[in-house]
Structure 1
Amino acid sequence: MTETKKRTGMASLAAAGDDGDFSVIEAIGGPRGVIESMLPGVVFVVLFVATSNLNLTIAVSAALAVVQVLVRLIQRQSVMGALSGLIAVGICLIWAWKSHEARNYYMFGFLTNAAYMALLTVSLIARVPGLGLMVEFIRSLPTEHFREWFRGWMDDAALKRAYMIVTALWVGVFGLRLVVQVPLYLTDHVVLLGTARLLMGIPFWALAIWVSYLIIATPLHRHTAAAKAAKTSADADATEPAPSAD
């Protein structure tokens, strides 16, 4: 029996309209994914506090990120999550190393949070919810009939409203991270900044995913069921023999 592959991140929200249980832990990558995501940040903060040696801290954190990818390769497991994490950690470490300031390890995160917040805010102003676009794109890639695909979910008032709400929720998540963490960066409180980053990282992500699921699950399930019913009806009409002329 083949085990169904669990969807993670926003892909887990794309499955909200399907039957089946939703798992927050699986949505954020499972226990191993959580550990691999948080460990480099924990090591960076703890080692820098313990040694005050930025170069050593950077070297150990980089080695750890590489080891995580190598372990997955050896175990013949998916490396995409670990590899993307390696790239992100690498950018952060290079930024800190080039600037000779530990606090700049967190600069890349500020930029990505600000970019996501700006894009989602623009989508709200345009009344085309960014989270809706993302989830629907994952659900069904619009390789053709783009207008039909777009209007299919945009014209569902309840579903669009849910997408608007969760888009606003994620704007709040990204904005709150910046409000709390940027002042700590500007005042060079590296330990507090690192702690805040950890607490507002995976835990915030998990909470936002869970709340987003609660908001969109029912309207998305109804939308999916209605679409399936309409397709079944259309298929039945297409196969029904034409009435006799006699």
Structure 2
Amino acid sequence: MVDNKRRTGMASLAAVGDGGDFSVIEAIGGPRGVVESMLPGVVFVMMFIITSNLNLTIAVSAALAVIQVIVRLLQHQSVMGALSGLVAVGICLIWAWKSHEARNYYMFGFISNSVYFVLLTLSLIVRVPGLGVMIEFIRSLPTEHFQAWFDDWMSDRALKRAYMIVTALWMGVFALRLVVQVPLYITDHVALLGTARLLMGIPFWALAIWVSYLIIATPLHRHKIAEQASERNSDQFAD
């Protein structure tokens, strides 16, 4: 049995139906994860608005990201999430520092959202839902018998349809971010861009995770029950 409360992001969706209650807060990293994810962006935009000093803003934001990792190390807690956040923040800060433009702090986000949007679009075109591939890959790593793994969930019409819907949902999230934020970048409205990024970050992620859960929970649960029944029948036949 999987402890859903220990899983975040897409892994929390992969654990649907394995027992335990689904929690959006836990799925997005818990209260601490939410704070750690949003704090660097909040500090960056607030510091730049108050001081208009890009170098000082970058220095404070970088120091904060490093402190978050150090605190986790001192508390003997997992640092993987903080380290991945540090790398992402570091890329954003270096981009802004090298270009001498605060708005370029958000360029990495535009690129990543664009890449995700294109990949998910292509997956729908070829009728292999990207979100389905991600969730099923997390749920059961196909170290061997890839075709059997692929056919198992792709042949479940209800589950595949649910994965197609949530893939389109996440495409919408990435597209909406770009539609709203890119014009703010072009017109150099850093404060508004930073605010939009924050509002369309964790809150949008949480909403998308919750709606995705509502869509895939039933078909994925039924699929897992069918898998378990098939495994029991195979064991009985082997005996």
Ranges in structure 2 where 5+ consecutive residues have no aligned partner: none
Alpha-carbon displacement from aligned partner over 1:154-194 (angstroms, at most 9, x marks no partner): 00000000000000000000000000000000000000000
Question: Distance in 2 between the 1:235 and 1:210 partners?
Answer: 36
Alpha-carbon displacement from aligned partner over 1:172-231 (angstroms, at most 9, x marks no partner): 000000000000000000000000000000000000000000000000000000010011
- The answer on 1:125 being equivalent to 2:97 is no
1:152 aligned partner:
152
- Give aligned pairs, total: 237
Question: Distance in 2 between the 1:41 and 1:23 partners?
Answer: 24
Ranges in structure 1 where 5+ consecutive residues have no aligned partner: 240-246
1:81-92 alignment to 2 at 5 Å? Answer: 81-92=81-92
- The answer on 1:215 being equivalent to 2:215 is yes
**In terms of Rg, which structure is larger?**
1
2:34 aligned partner:
34
3-state secondary structure, aligned to 1:77: coil
1:238, distance to aligned residue in structure 2 (A): 1.4
1:5, distance to aligned residue in structure 2 (A): 5.9
TM-score normalised by structure 1 residue count: 0.95
- The answer on 1:9 being equivalent to 2:20 is no
1:35, distance to aligned residue in structure 2 (A): 0.2
1:17, distance to aligned residue in structure 2 (A): 2.6
Instruction: Provide runs of 4+ in structure 1 moved above 3 Å.
Output: none
Alpha-carbon displacement from aligned partner over 1:27-78 (angstroms, at most 9, x marks no partner): 0000000000000000001110000000000000000000000000010100
Question: Distance in 1 between the 2:149 and 2:96 partners?
Answer: 44
CA 120–4 in structure 1, closer or farther in 2 if over 3 Å, else same: closer
Question: Distance in 2 between the 1:188 and 1:44 partners?
Answer: 15
Question: Distance in 2 between the 1:136 and 1:112 partners?
Answer: 22
2:105 aligned partner:
105
1:184 aligned partner:
184
TM-score normalised by structure 2 residue count: 0.98
**AA of the residue aligned to 2:186:** L
* Higher relative contact order structure (alpha carbons within 8 Å, sequence separation ≥ 6): 1
Question: Distance in 2 between the 1:112 and 1:126 partners?
Answer: 21
1:4, distance to aligned residue in structure 2 (A): 7.5
**AA of the residue aligned to 2:53:** N
- The answer on 1:66 being equivalent to 2:71 is no
3-state secondary structure, aligned to 2:161: helix
